[in-house]
Each structure stands twice: as C-alpha cells, then as structure tokens.
C-alpha cells in the first residue's frame, strides 16, 4: 500500500448536520495527527450516482496516500458490504453501492476488502480509550455507519494503526457494485442518449457525455438539441457561461470534462425541468448558420422515447 499521507477526505450527503461533525470528531479521537479535508457534504440525498461523480472528480487533488471516506448510503444497516478499496495511490472507504467504483477504477484497483464492522469498531475503541480526552466506547448503530464504521476505518488506515487485512476480508474486485458516470448510448452520428449525473448548487446540469473521451471536438458544433419525454430545446454551444446572455441557456464542457448545460446567472435544472438521473437525448448540430438559442420547436418523433431512430451502440 502507498505510504499514508495522514490525510482523510470526507464526502457525504449529510449536509449541514451534526453527522459530519461527529465523523470528524471520531477521526481526531483516533489520531490527532490526521488532517481532515471536507470535500463535499452537500451530495444530493440518497444518490450514489451523484456521490460517485464527486468522488471521481475530486480525489486526485488530495495528496497521494490519502484516504477518501464517502458516505452516501441509503442502504445503511442492510446486507450491503462496507468496503475499503486500495488503488494505486489512494484508499477509498464507503458502502458498496457504486459510490466508490468510478474513482477507484480510474486510479487502478489493486485490492478490495469487505470490512468486518465489529473488528473496525473494536480497534477504534481501543485507540480512542488510550488517548486522553476522547470519546467513550460506542456500539455499532444500524443507521449511522459513517460514525461507527467508515470514519473509524478511514482514521485507522490513514494513521497507520491498522492494515486492510486487520479490518476486512479480501474479495474479488468484480464483486464491487458498479456505477458509471459516463455511460452513453449512441443513437446516430451526432446523437446520444445520456444521463444527468450531477446538478450543482447553481442548477448547472452535468451529463454523462464526456466529449474528449468520445473523441468529440465541441468547437465544431454551434448548438445542441436537448430532448426529454416532453420537451425539446436548442441550446447554444459555448466555452463558458458568459458566452450566453443573462437568462439564456448555454452548453459547454465543464471543468471535469462533462458536457454541461447552464443558464447564465440562472438555474438550468429548473428552466429545463431536469432532475438527477434523468435520461435525455442530445443531438450535436454542426456550424452551419444561425440557430435561435432556446428554440422549443419539435415534432412528436423528436421526443425522447418516441424517436423514429433505432437504438444504436452503447459507449462507455
């Protein structure tokens, strides 16, 4: 395993709540030397997909050897695994619901462990009870594994107090639940079916289309047509928000390499009626004459789900 950096990165859907503070307290109780970086606690509730998007696009900014603890866990207390995943440069800890997979796969999975919750809790109690002024011993809750399993495991590994073998049983990487943040279906030469993988606080809508990964040069296109089951919008292609007038829609490649839709100084998700994990159809229109931004003209055959084109290849 890469040399621990004594840094723990935290990601969760806990928001502004006591739960994030308790996880930080548990980590510091196990080792006061650890540095904690709160990457994001505003993941949309109950969405491993959105969590996977954030984990995958933030972990590489942490020092190599860091431990990333991601807690987006609607299945807490069920039979799902609690995982510790060793990659080439990091360790990822969280529930086995797909939230870890894109990041771990991108860094190169080496070993995967199913955490033994009682062993994690027992070692954590030993470390906290041996440090003056720390929390009292605790039992494992069925509803707060962020406190009782994931944060303690992350702290024990980051501080070098325990090995992965001491905390879990190795399993085949193929048993990990997989989530894709860049799954698209190709419907035509420049037409794709994609997924809304993230909506940020500004209402910017990130799609599963990653132009560079697909070999797409966005500068060759003047606009995109975004279709849902009920609407069709033609949106200007740009490079940044200011390429559209205030209140207008604009499409561009975001800082994480995804095709994203925004409203300059507005909220694209609300304007378009889009929600996380919605499926949309995207058609790229080449540079050949002006197209009115925000055009809503459409035929029934243009709507997602009733397209006259047959489903083409799936691209990953």
Q: Residue 104: in which H helix or E strand, if any? A: helix 101-107
The arrangement of strands across the sheet holding 35-40 comes to 35-40, 7-12, 67-71, 91-95, 82-87, 109-115, 168-171
* 100 and 37 in a common domain: yes
DSSP 82: E
DSSP 148: I
* 75 and 44 in a common domain: yes
The last residue of one of the domains, among 144, 175, 206, is: 175
Asked whether residue 19 is assigned to any structural domain, the reply reads: yes
* 29 and 133 in a common domain: yes
CATH label of the domain that carries residue 140: 3.40.50.10790
CA distance 277 to 208: 10
* 189 and 97 in a common domain: no
91-107 as b/e: b if 16+ CB within 10 A: bbbbbbbbbbbbbbbbb
Q: Whole-model pTM above 0.85? A: yes
CATH label of the domain that carries residue 259: 2.40.30.90
pLDDT tens digits for 221-237? 999 999 999 999 999 99
Q: Residue 117: in which H helix or E strand, if any? A: helix 117-129
* Number of structural domains in the chain: 2
Asked whether residue 2 is assigned to any structural domain, the reply reads: no
* 55 and 201 in a common domain: no
Asked whether residue 142 is assigned to any structural domain, the reply reads: yes
* 84 and 50 in a common domain: yes
* 169 and 37 in a common domain: yes
* 29 and 168 in a common domain: yes
pLDDT tens digits for 15-33? 999 999 999 999 999 999 9
CA distance 248 to 232: 15
* 288 and 159 in a common domain: no
Q: Is the pLDDT of residue 181 over 70?
A: yes
Domain span including residue 143: 7-175
Asked whether residue 203 is assigned to any structural domain, the reply reads: yes
* 130 and 55 in a common domain: yes
Asked whether residue 253 is assigned to any structural domain, the reply reads: yes
What band does 132 get if pLDDT is binned at 50, 70 and 90?
A: low
* 143 and 249 in a common domain: no
Degrees, nearest 5: CA angle 36-37-38: 115
Output the DSSP codes for 18-55: HHHHHHHHHHHHH-TT-EEEEEES-PPTT-HHHHHHHH
Give me the mean pLDDT over the 66-89 stretch: 97
* 207 and 87 in a common domain: no
- CA dist 48 to 60, 174, 242, Å? 19, 18, 32
More reliable by pLDDT, 295 or 284 = 284
Asked whether residue 49 is assigned to any structural domain, the reply reads: yes
Asked whether residue 1 is assigned to any structural domain, the reply reads: no
CA distance 49 to 52: 5
């Amino acid at each position: 395993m890469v040399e621990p950096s004594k840094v723990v990165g935290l990601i969760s859907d806990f928001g502004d709540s006591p739960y994030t503070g308790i996880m930080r307290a548990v980590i510091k109780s196990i080792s006061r030397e650890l540095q904690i970086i709160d990457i994001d606690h505003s993941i949309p509730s109950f969405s491993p997909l959105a969590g996977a998007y954030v984990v995958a696009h933030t972990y590489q900014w942490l020092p190599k050897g860091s431990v990333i603890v991601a807690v987006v866990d609607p299945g807490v207390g069920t039979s799902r695994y609690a995982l510790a995943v060793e990659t080439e440069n990091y360790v990822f800890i969280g529930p086995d619901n797909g939230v870890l997979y894109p990041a771990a796969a991108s860094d190169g999975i080496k070993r995967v462990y199913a955490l033994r919750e009682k062993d994690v809790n027992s070692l954590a109690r030993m470390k906290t009870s041996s440090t003056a002024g720390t929390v009292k011993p605790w039992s494992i809750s069925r509803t707060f594994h962020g406190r009782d399993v994931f944060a303690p495991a992350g702290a024990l590994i980051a501080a070098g107090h325990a090995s992965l073998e001491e905390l879990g049983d190795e399993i085949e990487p193929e048993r990990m639940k997989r989530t894709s943040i860049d799954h698209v279906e190709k419907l035509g030469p420049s037409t794709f079916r994609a997924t809304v993988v993230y909506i940020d606080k500004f209402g910017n809508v990130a799609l599963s289309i990653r132009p560079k990964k697909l070999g797409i040069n966005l500068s060759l296109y003047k606009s995109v047509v975004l279709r849902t089951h009920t609407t069709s919008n033609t949106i200007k292609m740009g490079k940044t928000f200011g390429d559209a007038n205030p209140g207008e829609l604009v499409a561009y490649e975001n800082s994480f390499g995804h095709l994203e839709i925004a409203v300059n100084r507005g909220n694209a998700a609300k304007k378009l009626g889009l929600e996380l994990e919605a499926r949309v159809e995207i058609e790229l229109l080449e540079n050949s004459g002006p197209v009115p931004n925000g055009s809503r003209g459409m035929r029934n055959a243009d709507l997602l789900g009733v397209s006259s084109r047959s489903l083409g290849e799936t691209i990953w």
